Amino acid sequence: MEAEALTPLSVDLAIDPSVHEGPSQHATLAPSAFERPSDDAYEPTAFVADRTANLQCVPFARQQSGVEIYGNANTWWRQAAGRFERSSEPEEGGVLVLRGYNNPNRGHVAVVQEIVSPRLIIVDHANWLNNGEITRDVPVRDVSDAGDWSKVQVWHVPGRHWGGRVYNVQGFILDAVEAARQSAPAVG
């Protein structure tokens, strides 16, 4: 019977906001509760969205990003010069440009969907697995010694682990909307 008498008191304390007012309310929250988890704690949700898309990376990236560049992926970085803003830092909506993909004459492009941390981004891309598929929510991590996005690893979706290869990055081509906004004359 005593336990029953304690239950209503416990419920009253939990429901009554006046009991929780005052400085002691925040005393239980440690500063570490607000710290971002490490990149190793990130749980990838990457998946093959369309196995039958029959797309190469270039038309997919062009359509998803608004960056109107044509030709092989290994030419995108050069073609973007003077037409689009190029950066060594990722930006959401921008295009990640890899060089030497598979061999020195090949490239790959992917669209940055999210910046998780200074060294981890999420991309969508096509034909990474060489079957014309569209793959979404794929983690890419900066593994360069300097933390400058010059070398990356890409999450291997079928195996659910980091790929064993390291890829060279030329940089990031920022989307057409951002480039146009930055080059527009000031109105005043």
CATH number of the domain bearing residue 120: 3.90.1720.10
For residue 22, CA distances in Å to 7, 15, 26, 52 come to 24, 16, 8, 59
State how far the Cα of 167 lies from the Cα of 180, in Å rounded to an integer: 30
For position 115, what pLDDT does the model report? 96
Q: Could you list the residue range(s) of the whole structural domain that residue 147 is in?
A: 44-183
Note whether residue 13 is domain-resident: no
For position 100, what pLDDT does the model report? 78
Q: What are phi and psi of 114, to 5 degrees?
A: -155, 145
Q: Please work out, in degrees rounded to the nearest 5, the angle formed at the alpha carbon of residue 122 by the alpha carbons of 81 and 52.
A: 90
Q: Please work out, in degrees rounded to the nearest 5, the angle formed at the alpha carbon of residue 154 by the alpha carbons of 153 and 160.
A: 120
Note whether residue 39 is domain-resident: no
Q: What's the domain count of the chain?
A: 1
For position 41, what pLDDT does the model report? 73
Note whether residue 56 is domain-resident: yes
Note whether residue 88 is domain-resident: yes
Note whether residue 18 is domain-resident: no
For position 188, what pLDDT does the model report? 53
The series of mean pLDDT values per 10 residues for the chain, 188 residues long, is 43 42 46 63 89 97 95 95 95 94 84 96 96 97 97 96 94 70 58
Note whether residue 22 is domain-resident: no
Question: Cβ neighbours of residue 140 under 8 Å, at least 6 residues apart?
Answer: 96, 110, 120, 121, 122, 123, 152, 153, 154, 155
